[in-house]
Amino acid sequence: MKTIQLSEYGILPGTDCTDALNRVLAENRENCEFLFAPGDYRIAAHLHRPLALSNTDVIPERHLGILLEDMKNVRLTGSGARLLCEGRMQPVTLLGCEDVTLSGFTIDWEKPMVAEGIVRAFTESSIDLAVDPAAFPHRVEDGTLLFDIGGGEWSRFTGWTIQFDAETRTVRRTTGDRFGFGALIGDLGGHVYRFAASHPDTAVGNIVVLRHNEREHAGIFAEGCRNLAFEHIDIHSCGGLGCLIQFCDTVAFRAVSFLPNREAGRFVSGGRDDGMHVTCCSGTVTVDGCSFLGLMDDPINVHSCCVTGVEWLDGRTLRCRFMHGQAQGFRRWAEPGDDIVFIDRRPMTQIAHAAAESYALEGAGTFLLTFAEAPDEEIRRRDPASLALDDLTHTAAFVCENNRFGSCRARGVLVSTPKPVRIRNNYFESSGSAILVAGDANGWFESGECRDVEIAGNVFTDSCLSSMYQFCEGVISVCPVVPAPDREHPFHKNIRIHDNVFDSPDVPVLYAFSCDGLTFAGNRIYKSPRAEKWHPGRAMIRLEFCKNAVIGENTWTGDFGAMQMVSED
């Protein structure tokens, strides 16, 4: 492997290195290691591509910084370098690469993409926030708070907030998405602002994260790649999803962190949306030794993308529609030979398989899918809109071990994949459910029937499930969207939860819906005295539409107010 010292090409700390770096990368596409010298580098959005990003706002073009395209067997080694970005942009993009490792650098914005305010005073109908102008440059214009994100761009705060306790740096109990802000009603001077507010609970000194700008770019984006590794990377800010990996084969994250840049005056904010979002990948996705805090959505989400039928054009060709506005226009949703499954959307049962022959986008919203052989006539007689389709070839095994899930908005790990899932030896402080075993072809369309899930050796602190978000029915929530559950054919299968530690202030530790073959055994559940019961769940364990469940040999310590278990239907 050839070693390239980037400093020899004029790529030096303190400079805008974007164009020079992209030239070096384009001229050396194979068998190279690119070495930064330590220091701070400026990255700017000099490239533009019309990319379709999963779970991201649709815009005509993405604004790119560093681009690795069609590269093979290369390493980009930061040696402690900081990549400093500005404005709406995607710092690192990988397209069609194989055997690539990125390591040893930090991604940040000097003018961050998320802001914070400190509670100075409050009444029943208002709240006063102090916003540090050095950490979060801003101004008031036409009665709105605007934040400077660099590059001459300003971003409008529209009221999306999450509140953290000043001392614990965890999401304030039960406030979650209920901590609502209204209009700016006064500039009190000294960078203190009064907002109309409807807030159930707060305290002077608490930290309020103020989400502004749009979800338009990822921090790191990869599509159509194979064998990627991201190691020892710190991401302090980004303008959307942190690491978005889609239609890739085999990806590993090791010692990647989403943490606030405390030296820059940020207390809790580590990102605007999800941390690691993995869509329609294959092989194995590994997350090991990573840390998360202050994200404004889920640290990890691994799923595929369901679509619905529209109409049959002939016996083998079906027009299909992407159903979620932030997940459409994918160039790689299906490839020749892929295993496509037909799903009845009401019971969410798989009813037939077919091999793809060709895939052609008609626009962002619809595409034509031709099968190698005509599906059974019974399939073609159904209302196409009643069917969902999923590409099982683009589903991944998932290994999640030795990570720290600090307090973030919403859940900790979301998983929807039929391949083996191992979630082991992690530490959770998730403000919603720590683990959500999801699956959906009716709302978010992030589907994937789970068939082999092991959750073992984890610690779930009493910060877990301290606020209510969607699907948060238990610390571990098996909560697929199944409008008409089939008692004989549950959606998920073979979920084993064992040898974990739960510290629960009377919030449910397990909720399971539509699961066949569920085990909850050998766990230790402690009654935490740090909070009162607040969750509407009336049992510590609740099963609905489940069969072949084994619940036993768990250790319960303390006086729990909720019933131990309820089984329904």
Backbone torsions φ then ψ of 287, nearest 5 degrees: -125, 115
Please give the Cα distance from 155 to 215 (Å, whole number).
Answer: 12
Does the pLDDT of residue 568 top 80, yes or no?
no
**Residue 438 tokens, joined:** 């999801």
DSSP 409: S
Domain ranges of the chain: 2-108+215-297, 114-212, 308-389, 401-568
Tell me the residue length of the chain.
569
What is the number of alpha carbons within 13 Å of residue 62 lying toward its C-beta?
26
- 433 and 472 Cβ atoms separated by less than 8 Å: yes
The CATH T-level fold of domain 114-212 is Elongation Factor Tu (Ef-tu); domain 3 (2.40.30)
| DSSP letter (8 states) at residue 386 | G
Residues 317-375 pLDDT 10s:
999 999 998 999 999 999 999 999 999 999 999 999 999 999 999 999 999 999 999 99
pTM: 0.97
569 has a pLDDT exceeding 90: no
Average pLDDT for 490-507? 97
Are the C-beta atoms of residues 190 and 147 closer than 8 Å to each other?
no
**Superfamily for domain range 2-108+215-297:** Single-stranded right-handed beta-helix, Pectin lyase-like (2.160.20.10)
Q: How is residue 264 written in tokens? A: 């820059």
Following DSSP, what letter does each residue of 13-76 receive, concatenated?
A: TTSB-HHHHHHHHHH--EEEEEEPPSSEEE----EEE----TTS---S-EEEEEEEES-EEEEE
**Nearest-5° angle of CA 415, CA 112, CA 161?**
60
Which pLDDT belongs to residue 182?
Answer: 87
Cβ proximity of 254 and 222 under 8 Å = no
pLDDT in tens, 170-219: 999 999 999 888 899 999 999 999 999 987 799 999 999 999 988 999 99
For the stretch 422-469, pLDDT in tens is 999 999 999 999 999 999 999 999 988 999 999 999 999 999 999 999
CA distance 430 to 487: 31
* Structure-token match 């030896």, residue found: 425
Q: Can you tell me the distance from the alpha carbon of 535 to that of 95, in angstroms, rounded to the nearest whole number?
A: 44
